[in-house]
Amino acid sequence: MFVLTRNPIRYCTGVLANVGDVKRQFNCRFPLRKGKCVAGSVVLESLYGAAPIRKGTAIGVSLGTYAGELLVNFNCDSKVLPNEQAESFADLYMSKLSEFTDEMKEDDVLSK
């Protein structure tokens, strides 16, 4: 164990976290309006956050839902992945996700 903690070891270059429905974090303490948490006169429209990344990990991506919308958050270590490459990765990731959802919609329409 001493060797593992003494030497920097990269366990992975990226982390994908599925956080599910983020309202679960509030333990249903707030009433909902159109699927969004309400506290007095304040409506929580959206949430922002990202999967934590450890030293040596380039990128963390977290996926969740809130009020029927998909939330995709990225967290990058600029020492491992420069800003330009991180933005390029995010663009490519979202492009592929859009292609996949478009294909799913087409398959759904064809099956009806």
CB 55 within 8 A of CB 13: no
Range of the domain at 28: 10-111
Kindly state whether residue 1 falls inside one of the protein's structural domains: no
pLDDT tens sequence for the chain (112 residues): 455 556 555 556 888 888 888 777 766 678 888 888 888 899 988 877 777 788 778 888 989 888 888 889 999 888 888 899 989 999 999 999 999 988 888 777 666 6
Specify the number of domains making up the chain.
1
Taking the complete model, does pTM exceed 0.75, yes or no? no
Kindly state whether residue 3 falls inside one of the protein's structural domains: no
